Copies of this chain bind each other. A is one copy, B any other.
């Protein structure tokens, strides 16, 4: 079964697209356990970003319309309390669309991990796909195999679960009123979309209550785990009859952390699934969130250069944080960015590269008060040149710059 969900350039795009989570979004199709089926997916923004050399489209992106998801697909026999087993059999770009992009958003429109630190302005890299590899005219000197995966995949929430989400996130928003970038996103009727012919009341309810798709939650969702890759087997808790699986935000590749937010190599393409059901699985496995088995074909780059970070903001004001792994991750990433700059990459290129390439980030230790320690590993095999630390220092090359705004502001 192939859903009719090709990107905007394709005239048939409508059915199955939606961009909110809500139990009342009806399934667009029902599959039986054991059926192999494909879903076509637009990129997460719905084709707002073009294959060109300016980042104006990133600057102007309308985030009320994200993420564009395909589905929901109901699985025959699935009921609340069950576990839906989903084999992600393949993920690949459309044959006639062998490119993707990584973006750095504006501080005031989308943000990203270092939006404040870098006072971010829109940047972009276009990646060309050559079979399993990606290269970019905007980030020269690297070539890597993609860990292709859906950034976003999950089952539909029940009404109760949805209410829980909206309540707890609303409280966080209230506690950080006016934060830039925002700390979370409440339901937002503007931009809400369900590509089905729904009763107006139903659509209004979905628009008013539907959870935004930005964060991952108990049902999966936008977890952006690079290892939910083609070949993996995932176990999702079921909250509504039929499970109602939705998927989108396909990534050709992504680093652990996806730090620039639009940090994966975002693409449009096709994903292939098979499913089965484990009755009563939530109780059987004490499951509060998805679990999964990784793929045997994730790229293997055994040689790595690893950066450490602790929960002290030593790249900023030197403040000591209390066992904060997020701060530690940021330091490790900033250390890697500084290193890449010594090799000649601009800060923006380095930021994009860490987001898009198959970097790995491990939690080192999370108990040595007050410092969490996080590592970030650059695979050596993705670089055309030897980047190892040498007694004579690093060789700086000119790699140009990534795509920036047409007004020249970086």
Residues on A facing B (Cβ under 8 Å): 36, 83, 85, 87-90, 111-113, 130-133, 145, 151, 164, 168-169, 171-172, 176, 181-185, 214-218, 220, 222-227, 230-231, 235, 256-261, 263, 272, 274, 276, 278-281, 284-310, 312, 314-315, 318-326, 328-329, 331-332, 335, 338-339, 341-342, 360-375, 377, 381, 386, 388-391, 393-394
Contacts and interface: CB of A to CB of B under 8 A. Distances in A.
A85 B132 CA distance: 17
A301 B301 CA distance: 9
Nearest to A299: B296
Contacts of A131: 87-90, 230-231, 272
Nearest to A312: B168
A288 B331 contact: yes
A230 B132 contact: yes
Given A281-B389, A296-B145, A325-B326, A362 B365 contact: no
Contacts of A89: 130-133
Contacts of A295: 132, 145
Contacts of A256: 362-364
Contact of A363 (B312, B338, B339, B374): B374
A243 to B, nearest CB: 16
A392 to B, nearest CB: 8
Given A314-B288, A362-B256, A363-B363, A181 B369 contact: yes
A163 B208 CA distance: 54
Contact of A394 (B113, B181, B284): B284
A259 B367 contact: yes
A305 B263 CA distance: 26
Contacts of A130: 36, 87, 89, 272, 274
B286 A339 contact: yes
Given A131-B88, A224-B368, A325 B363 contact: yes
Given A181-B369, A293-B303, 19 more contacts: A89-B132, A130-B272, A131-B230, A132-B230, A168-B320, A214-B369, A218-B312, A224-B364, A225-B364, A280-B393, A284-B389, A288-B314, A288-B315, A290-B308, A291-B306, A297-B299, A297-B300, A303-B303, A325-B372
Contacts of A227: 306, 362, 375
Contacts of A297: 132, 145, 297-300
B324 A306 contact: no
22 contacts: A130-B274, A131-B231, A168-B312, A172-B320, A184-B370, A215-B368, A215-B370, A216-B365, A222-B368, A223-B365, A286-B341, A288-B338, A289-B307, A291-B307, A291-B308, A296-B301, A297-B300, A301-B303, A325-B328, A325-B374, A329-B363, A363-B363
A113 B366 contact: yes
A122 to B, nearest CB: 16
Contacts of A386: 386
A250 B144 CA distance: 24
Contact of A369 (B182, B230, B263, B305): B182
Contacts of A369: 111, 181-185, 214-215
